[in-house]
Structure 1
Amino acid sequence: MSEPPTADPQTVDVRDDTEANRYEARVGGQLAGTAQYIRTPGLIAFVHTEVDPAYEGQGVG
């Protein structure tokens, strides 16, 4: 099994997946973390965040 790419904050790609109500952080195309949210007209409340253990401590969160 190959090692996951090392996260460099400049190479973390963050995208808003509006259908899943979450932001996704990807490193080298691999899902490294997510931030679930509830969106209303005047507020975005983050209700859950998660970073894959392979990317912890690398600035993904």
Structure 2
Amino acid sequence: MASHPAIRAVFLIEPHLHHLLLNTQALCLSRMMHALRADAWLREHFIPACVLYSPRTGFS
């Protein structure tokens, strides 16, 4: 695992994001993730793949 603090933080946060995405009725978290995906680093390290291609949100 990389030791860069930002990558470590993402590693710790990612399971919580997955939980929220799968267990919330509101789509605001999904919409926020789609807004953040415009940044290449965030898209690679922070945005869960299930958000980018989720049939639930209709985004791709």
TM-score by length of 2: 0.26
Q: Counting helix residues as a fraction of each chain, which structure ranks higher?
A: 2
| Larger Cα-atom Rg | 1
Which structure's residues are more often strand, by fraction? 1
